[in-house]
Structure 1
Amino acid sequence: MCTTRILIIHDHFPGQFGALALHLAANGWDVTFATRTMPVTGPGYRVVSFTPHRDPSSTTHPYAQPMERAVLVGQAFARTALALRKDGYRPDVILCHSGWGAGLFARDIFPKARLVSYAEWWYNSPGTDIAFLAKSYPDVSDQGPDAGMVERARNAHLALELASADACLCPTQFQAAQFPPSIRRDLIVGHDGIDTGFFSPGVAKDPMLGGRVPDDARVVTFATRGMEPHRGFPEFMKALPAILGADRRIHVVIAGRNQVVYGPRPIRLRDWKAEALSTLDLDPARVLFTGALQVNEYRNLLRRSDVHVYLTVPFVLSWSMLEAMSAARRLVLSDTEPVREFAGTDLAILTTISPSSIADAVLTALDDVSDRPQRARNCIKDKVPLCDCLSFRQETLSRSL
C-alpha cells in the first residue's frame, strides 16, 4: 500500500495542525509541514520554511494591501515548494490554512495534488464582531464611507484560495455562518478537537502560583491571547473592584500578552492594560499578570482556578474556553453566539459583557455547588474529543483523494 504524502501549510507552526500532523505521521502518512515560524525542536516529521522577501509597500492602495501581503506570502511558499518539487517531492494532498495567502499558488506548483483549505473567517461589513463592539465603542463604527470596501477587499485572497480548493474546512458552525451562501454550502464543519485527557481535573503543581497567591485564596482566572475589547478584557478589568471588594480571599490571575490582536485601528492604538491599571483602584497583591503561558502552565492555572472567565464578542471562539470546560472548571462565559454553540446555562453562568454583570456572575459562580463543571467536561468529551476530531479530519483528507 502506497504511503499518502501530505503537505501541511501554516504561517505559524503548528497552529491548528500540530496534533493532526502527529496523528497522520503516527498512522503512516508522509508528513511535510511548511511554515514561517520553525519549531525549536524536531516534531517527528519534516518541517520546511518560507519567508516573504519584503513587506507590502506603503504606496499600495489600502484596499489592495491585504492582497499584496497575501501574494508575498504565497510567493514565498511557492519558492520553497519549487525547491521541494525540484528534489522530486510530490504531495498527494495539501492542507493549507487560508488566512495569510500561503496556499495561493500551491495548485500551480503541485497541480496533481488535492487541495484542502482551512478557512476561519469571512469579513463582512459590518462584521458580527464590529457591530457588537460599536454598541460600547462608538469610534469603532466611525470608519468612513469606504470601511465596507476595505472589509470586502480583505476576502480577496481567501476567495481565490477557496475557489481552487477541492474541499474546505471550517471549525465551528458560527464561523461557517459568516461566509456567503455560495461558499458556506461547501464548507465541512468540524472542530480541531480538545485533548480531554490532558485538560482534565487534577491537582495544580504550583497551587500558590509562584508564591504570589495564598494557599486558601479563591482564585478567579482569565486567559486571553491579547488584552483587548474582542475578548472583553476592558470590561473584565472594570469588574474587578466589585469582585475583589466582595471577599478578601479572592485573587485574580490573568494570563496573556499585553497586545491587541483583533480589531480596527481605534482599538489597536490603545494600551488597554495600562488604561485599566491607571484608572482602577486595584490591589496589586491580589491581581496577578502571568504573561503568556505554555500549555502545561495553562493547565496548571485551570486546575487552581475556582472560577474561570471567558468573554468574547461574536467572533472566532478560543480553544481556551473549551479547554477550561474540559478541565471541569466553574465557568463565567459571555452570552454570545459562538459561546452558545458549545455551552448554555446548564454548563456555565452566562453574562453580558458589562462590568456589573460580569462581577455578579463571578460572585455567583464562586458559590455555585451545582454539577455544571462535570457537565461541561462531559460536553467536550462528547462533542469535540481530540481523537474523534482527528479521525474525522483524516477521513476528510482521505476522501479528498
Structure 2
Amino acid sequence: MRILFLNDTFPGRYGTLAACFAANPENEVLFASSYCRQGFSLPGVRRVLLKNTRERGQGNGSDAFEQGWGRALKVGKLTFSSLRKLRETDFTPDMVLSSSAKGHALFFRRVFPEAFLVTYLDDSFSSSSAVDRYSDKMLLHHFMQSASLTQSQAFFVFCEGQKKYFPSFMRNAIEVVPVSVDTDFFSATRAGPFYHEGVNLSAMPELVSFSVTSRKSAQDTALWSLVMALLVHRPQCHVVLSCCGAETRAQLETVASRLCGKEASRLHVMGFLPLREYRDLLCASTVHVRLETADVREGELLEIMSCETLLLTPHQDGTAGLLRHGENMFICPPSDPEERYRCISDLLERPEILGVLRANARKTALAFRRQDILPRHVTRLITAYRQWKNKNLCSAF
C-alpha cells in the first residue's frame, strides 16, 4: 500500500504513526511537510519538503479570519503544486493522512481524487480555545474543519470531549484515536538536565511545575496563592509556570514581576517549550500541577506520568480508568489554596510515599505504550480502507 502523510511539520504528531506504517515492508510511506526537523529521519519513511508560503507583513486592514483564510489558500495551492509534481513521478497514494489545520489538504483531491483520506482534528481545538469558540480565529478553524470533513472517508479526534465541536448528528461518525504515550521518549532515562536562564533546575531539591493553559488561568488568585505559599514556606522549592501563547506568558510575567527578593529568584516563567525541553522539565519536576479541568487530554496526563512525575490535578471527567487517587497520582482539593499547599507540602515531606506514587505513575503509562497501541489504530485504518475499497462503505467520491 502507498501511504502519504500531509502535515505542517515533520515528524510532528504523526511521525510515530508513519513509522508504524513503514514497519510493514509491503507499505511505501511518504511524508510531505512544509517544515522538518533538521537531521531527523524515520526508517522506511521517505521525505518530501513542500513549497512554503512566506509571510509579507500582517494585517493590511483585514481581520483575523481573512488573514488566516488567505494563508490557508496559499498553503493549499503551494501544496497542490508540489503534489502535482509528485504525481508526475508516478507516486499515487492509496491512503492520505492529514490534519485539518493549515490548509495542506484543501486541493489534494484535484491531484489524487481516488485516494482514501483520513483527517485528524486540528490541535487548536483544546481547553484554551473553548472560552472563545466564536472568535474570528476559531471560526476559521471550524471552516477548515468543514472543508476537511467533506473530503474525508474517516475523521478522528484525540479525545472524546473534542466531539462537542461538531453537530450532534455527526458525532457518531467521528472516531477517537486510542490514547497512548511514547514511553520510550517520555522517560527519566532519556531526559537531560533542564536549564532555564542558565540555572540547572534539575539539580534543585524541590521543583514544582505548573501547566497554565489560558490567560484566565494566569490571572487566577488561587494559582498565585498556591505559588506564593510554596515560595514563602519552602525555601528550597523552585516553581515553574509553563504556558503556551504570548498573551498568557505576558500575564504571568506581569504578576511575577511584582515579587522581590529570594522568592522572585525561585520563580521561573516560560512559554512554549520544544518537545525535548518539555520532557526534560517534566522529568526534573518533583510534582507537576495541572489545575484546569476543561477538555483534558488523557495523552497529556500520560506524558507527565510516564516521566515518573507526580501529577496533582482536580478530578478529571472521563479519566476514571487512568487516574487513581493515592495510587498513581493525587487529586488536589477543589479550590482552597491552603489545602492545596498542605497537600503538596505533605507529599514533599514524605519521599518514600512520593517514590511509590511516581513508580506507579510510570507503570500506568506503560500500559498505554504507543508502540503497542498504534498498531491497533493502523489496523483500524487499513480495515476502513479495505471496506471502502470494496464498496462496503458509502463514499462521496
TM-score range, shorter chain: 0.7 to 0.9
Pairwise CA distance, 1:358: 5.0
| 1:33 and 1:46 in contact (8 A); partners too | yes
Q: After superposition, what is the alpha-carbon deviation per residue over 1:271-328, rounded to whole angstroms, capped at 9, x for unaligned?
A: 1232022223462432345776554544443333221123435246385432111122
User: Aligned residue for 1:221?
Assistant: 209
Q: 5 Å matches for 1:2-401? A: 4-28=1-25, 29-44=27-42, 45-52=46-53, 58=60, 60=62, 64-120=66-122, 147=134, 151-152=138-139, 154-191=141-178, 193-202=180-189, 206=193, 212-213=200-201, 217-222=205-210, 228-229=214-215, 232-235=217-220, 236-254=223-241, 259-260=245-246, 268=247, 271-281=250-260, 283-288=263-268, 293-312=273-292, 314-315=294-295, 317=297, 319-337=299-317, 342-343=322-323, 345-346=325-326, 347-351=328-332, 352=334, 359-367=341-349, 369=353, 371-382=356-367, 384-401=368-385
Q: After superposition, what is the alpha-carbon deviation per residue over 1:341-386, rounded to whole angstroms, capped at 9, x for unaligned?
A: 843535433345786565454334434626443443333222x321
Name the CA shift for 1:388/1:278 in 2 (closer, same or farther; >3 Å): same
283-292 or 300-309, which deviates more: 283-292
Q: Please give the secondary structure, in 2, of the residue aligned with 1:35.
A: strand
Q: Please give the secondary structure, in 1, of the residue aligned with 2:80.
A: helix
Q: Please give the secondary structure, in 2, of the residue aligned with 1:279.
A: coil
Pairwise CA distance, 1:90: 0.8
Name the CA shift for 1:87/1:15 in 2 (closer, same or farther; >3 Å): same
Name the CA shift for 1:74/1:27 in 2 (closer, same or farther; >3 Å): same
Paired amino acid for 1:40: Q
Count of residues in Structure 1 that have an aligned counterpart in Structure 2: 371
Unaligned stretches of 5+ residues in structure 2: 386-397
CA distance in 1: counterparts of 2:338 and 2:237, whole angstroms: 17
Q: Please give the secondary structure, in 1, of the residue aligned with 2:263.
A: coil
Name the CA shift for 1:343/1:58 in 2 (closer, same or farther; >3 Å): farther
User: Aligned residue for 1:265?
Assistant: none
Q: Please give the secondary structure, in 1, of the residue aligned with 2:381.
A: helix
| 1:218 and 1:250 in contact (8 A); partners too | yes
CA distance in 2: counterparts of 1:96 and 1:130, whole angstroms: 21
| 2:256 and 2:264 in contact (8 A); partners too | no
Name the CA shift for 1:62/1:293 in 2 (closer, same or farther; >3 Å): closer
Q: CA RMSD in A?
A: 3.7
| 1:196 and 1:386 in contact (8 A); partners too | yes
Q: After superposition, what is the alpha-carbon deviation per residue over 1:158-200, rounded to whole angstroms, capped at 9, x for unaligned?
A: 1121121011111111222332223321112124631223434
CA distance in 1: counterparts of 2:257 and 2:104, whole angstroms: 41
Name the CA shift for 1:196/1:167 in 2 (closer, same or farther; >3 Å): same
Name the CA shift for 1:86/1:387 in 2 (closer, same or farther; >3 Å): same
Pairwise CA distance, 1:391: 0.4
289-298 or 390-399, which deviates more: 289-298
CA distance in 1: counterparts of 2:32 and 2:179, whole angstroms: 19
Q: After superposition, what is the alpha-carbon deviation per residue over 1:8-31, rounded to whole angstroms, capped at 9, x for unaligned?
A: 111133221111122222322322
CA distance in 2: counterparts of 1:297 and 1:63, whole angstroms: 32
Paired amino acid for 1:400: A
CA distance in 1: counterparts of 2:320 and 2:17, whole angstroms: 26
Q: Please give the secondary structure, in 2, of the residue aligned with 1:362.
A: helix
TM-score (norm 2): 0.78
Task: Give the structure, 1 or 2, with the largest relative contact order (CA under 8 Å, sep 6 or more).
Answer: 1
Name the CA shift for 1:391/1:203 in 2 (closer, same or farther; >3 Å): closer
* Percent sequence identity over aligned pairs: 24
Q: Please give the secondary structure, in 2, of the residue aligned with 1:240.
A: helix
TM-score (norm 1): 0.77
Paired amino acid for 1:41: G
| 1:121 and 1:179 in contact (8 A); partners too | no
| 1:172 and 1:189 in contact (8 A); partners too | yes
Name the CA shift for 1:11/1:94 in 2 (closer, same or farther; >3 Å): same
